[in-house]
A and B are shown apart, each in its own frame.
Chain A
Amino acid sequence: MALNIIVCAKQVVDPETPASAFRIDPDTKQVVPAQGIPPVVNGFDENAVEAALQIKEASSDATITVLSVGSGFVMDVMKKPLSMGADQLILVDDPAVGNLDAFGTATALAEAIRKIGEYDLILCGRQASDWDNAMVPLGIAEILGLPCITIAQKIEVSDDGVTVHKALSDGYEVVKAELPAVVTITNELGEPRYPTLRGIMTASRKTPTVWDASEVGLSHDQLSHKLDLTELYIPVSDTECEFIEGEDDADSGRLLALKLREARLI
């Protein structure tokens, strides 16, 4: 069956950035990108790309469009899903959408999806590693009036719709929805594949479609923050190390247990 899959992908600060290189600007309440450490595609979004590729491999006639909203895109990074096997990349690249809250991001993505027009399945990562809100996919579904299934560890598409194994803390539940639908993907789906050399050569020759905010029909009001971030800071934690010394190992263990109970840790 012909299937149009849209994968929403976000460019984020590399979560592997060493703590010593991590900086924030408390005035603008933004993270300052570390010099020399390129951003990455959000890890869960790569899982979503992997899910899309698996669906495409199972149904020969699928097209995968990767969609992102933001500004200051690094093309080597954003083309990674193409090098994994996605078909096309659409970027809403505009300073006006560079620092949105979750509502604004969901609005911008939903409007871009409307502009794309044809879609059967919208896949997102379960959350983004920068703010960990996990709100945008639900927002997209709400705005577009679509069902949304979150935290998929397995996903299959058939003529009847989409069947998802939704991860729970003690197992999974099977949820079905008609298409079109929004599904968020978790890392339990499996490691995203590495790009191939052939895929990289193909991706490097592809030119992404770039829209600005006005082309997508986004107004200033739609993008205004509904959430106020009042303060952004790096928590300071002090560590103290205390050696518990008893007469022998068993005594040390007993004293350690007492200490932990005193601290209400056990």
Chain B
Amino acid sequence: MMNVEDQRYELPQEIRMTRNVVRDYISSEIVPREQEMEHDSIFMDDDMFNSLTPVTKEMGLWCMGVPEEHGGAGLSIFAQAVLEEEMVQHAAGLYRPAYGTMGSGPPEILWEGSDYQKETYGIPTVNGERHGWFAITEPSGGSDPARAIQTRAVRDGDDWIINGSKIFISGAPWGDWGIVFARTDPDSRRGITAFIVENDWDGFDLEPIPVIRAYYPAQLFFDNLRVPSRNVLGEVDNGWDLLANKLLARARIPYSAANLGVAVAAHKMAVEYSKTRETFGAPIATRQAVQWMMVDSEVEIRACRWLIWEAAWQYDAGEDFRQAASIAKVFSADILGKVVDRAIQIHGGYGVTKALPLERWYREARVRRIGEGPTEIQKMVIAREILNPGGPPG
């Protein structure tokens, strides 16, 4: 006989308690400092940053996704998703969670590399001494990297020579090394290899691209960029597995959790404001038109949270999580835009002022339906699994 009481789903106590700590850290340390900063800030000043990092390191929440043996907290992707929802609840949170004061590890696939690569690039990045990025998208496209990657790498003795360009690369303007996916076998769709390159090497150039958000990306140019063989990440001609399976699909889970967190923050602002703003002698919260907007946001936020958690559970259980991750990504990016839009509507004119974070989130939210794989590509992944469950990825 199934017992209903046994089927209560709730977060483990340690995750709930850690969530409380992260919530406290953001509201006590980040939000008050942020209120003294420029509206579109993406960095805090060094003194402020350096005063906070010992705190998060002591808390054990530094680089929470990085394995413990490499100096991180080694949390499951599920725990990360729950905490990410809290970490992003401040003005800059969508693109600079906690202003980096909780650490920013290297792209996850770096840990698939050699000891040399981990020691030269991974560990210093965990320690905050170096900053990494990764580059897939090219002017010819990003959604179909197997075809779009035209940047070529050709072997030259013990080295490789890279020529080509990457575009819309986040983090590269402030990084000093990165992972570049380049074509090494022109006869194969998947003949792609991952290379670790450094920003100050000869043959590497970078041009910032002003965009709708403050955290701008860059176009990268490789002109006979010479890369030693020891900087090949993984196997030659086998970068596809790293790219599609280990980098892109996994990243969609924390990316979705960030979308959710900012939606939650905007929704909270709307609810609070609706109770205090009066029209015609009563708070606007008493108006059905406003109530229904808030109801839609509440429903979407709750649904979104479960979709993200489902993808995270599947990932941690070692199951095929790609469809669930795409579903979470499509839905979270969509509802983020809707929830922020409603919050602005409820705030009226104040909603679009730079005194509040809502207009910033409105601009940034638009990027989220494009970044990390656009909605249409996610839908292709979802459709493929609906029509051919368990079939090979395209």
Q: List residues of chain A with CB under 8 Å of any chain B CB.
A: 16, 18, 20-21, 38, 75-77, 79-80, 83, 193-198, 200-201, 203-204
Contact = CB atoms under 8 A, between A and B. Distances in A.
A75 B14 CA distance: 11
Given A20-B272, A20-B275, A195 B58 contact: no
Contacts of B25: 194
Given A196-B58, A196-B60, A201-B14, 11 more contacts: A18-B272, A18-B275, A20-B275, A38-B20, A76-B13, A76-B17, A83-B17, A195-B17, A195-B59, A197-B73, A200-B18
Contacts of B275: 18, 20-21
Contact of B58 (A21, A79, A194): A194
Interface size on B, as a range, is 20 to 34
Interface in B164-198: none
Q: Tell which of A16, A77, A200 has the most Cβ of chain B within 10 Å.
A: A200
Nearest to B79: A197
A203 B16 CA distance: 12
Interface in B54-105: 55, 58-61, 73
A139 B21 CA distance: 33
14 contacts: A18-B272, A18-B275, A21-B272, A21-B275, A77-B20, A194-B21, A194-B24, A194-B59, A195-B17, A195-B59, A196-B58, A196-B59, A197-B61, A200-B18
Task: Give the 7 A-B CB pairs with smallest separation, nearest first.
Answer: A197-B60, A20-B275, A204-B14, A204-B13, A200-B17, A196-B60, A76-B16
Contacts of B61: 197
B24 A79 contact: no
Given A20-B272, A197-B61, A200-B14, A80 B55 contact: no
Nearest to B60: A197
Contact of A20 (B18, B73, B276): B276
- Interface of A, secondary structure class, is helix
A208 to B, nearest CB: 12
A76 B21 CA distance: 11
Interface string B134-167: 0000000000000000000000000000000000
Contacts of B73: 197
B13 A198 contact: no
B318 interface: no
A80 B60 contact: no
Interface in B22-64: 24-25, 27, 55, 58-61
B393 interface: no
B60 A198 contact: yes
B12 interface: yes
B17 A80 contact: yes
Nearest to B21: A195
A197 B24 contact: no
Contacts of A21: 272, 275
Nearest to B16: A76
A195 B276 CA distance: 34
Contacts of B55: 194
Contacts of B13: 75-76, 79, 204
Contacts of A76: 13, 16-17, 20
B269 to A, nearest CB: 11
B18 A197 contact: yes
Interface string B265-279: 000000010011000
A201 B25 CA distance: 18
A62 to B, nearest CB: 20
A80 B20 contact: yes
Given A194-B25, A196-B60, A197-B61, A79 B272 contact: no
Nearest to A82: B17
A21 B273 CA distance: 11
A197 B62 CA distance: 10
A193 B28 CA distance: 12
A227 to B, nearest CB: 33
A79 B20 CA distance: 12
Contacts of A196: 58-60
User: Quick one: which of B12, B17, B27 has the most chain A CB within 10 A?
Assistant: B17
Nearest to A38: B20
Contacts of B20: 38, 76-77, 80
A75 B12 CA distance: 12
Given A194-B25, A197-B73, A203 B59 contact: no
Contacts of B21: 83, 194-195, 200
Nearest to B27: A16
Contacts of A16: 27
A125 to B, nearest CB: 17
A76 B13 CA distance: 7
B126 to A, nearest CB: 16
A80 B18 CA distance: 10
Interface string B186-223: 00000000000000000000000000000000000000
A21 B20 CA distance: 20
Contacts of A203: 17
A133 to B, nearest CB: 26
Most buried by B among A75, A79, A194: A194
A3 B14 CA distance: 29
A77 B58 CA distance: 20
